[in-house]
Structure 1
Amino acid sequence: MGAVTVDPESPEAVENDYDTFAEAYTVENDTNLINAYYTLPAIVNLAGNVAGRRILDAGCGAGPISVALRDRGAIVAGFDRSAKMVELARQRLGTDTDLRVGDIAGPLPYPDGAFDDVVVALVLHYLKDWTTPLAELRRVLKPGGRLIVAVNHPFVYKLMYPEADYFAITKWSEEYTFNGQKAVLTYWHRPLHAMADAFTAAGFRTAVISEPPPAPEARELFPDQLGKFASGTPLCSLFFVLEAI
Structure 2
Amino acid sequence: MEFSPFNHVVKLCLQGMDMEDKGNHEEANKLFLQGWEEATNDLEKFLAAHYISRNQKTASNKLKWLETALKHALKINDDTVKSAFPALYSNIAKCYEDLSDTEKAKENYELAKLFKDNPSDKGPFYHGTKADLQVGDLLTAGGNSNYKSDFKMNHIYFTGLVNGAGLAAALAKGDGPDRVYIVEPTGSYENDPNLTDKKFPGNPTRSYRSDSPLKITGEATDWVKPNPEDLEKFREKLADSKGQIIN
**Is the structural similarity TM-score above 0.5?**
no
Structure with greater Cα Rg: 2
**Greater relative contact order: 1 or 2 (C-alpha under 8 angstroms, separation 6 or more)?**
1
Normalised to the residue count of structure 1, the TM-score between the two structures is: 0.26
Q: Which has the higher helix share?
A: 2
Normalised to the residue count of structure 2, the TM-score between the two structures is: 0.26
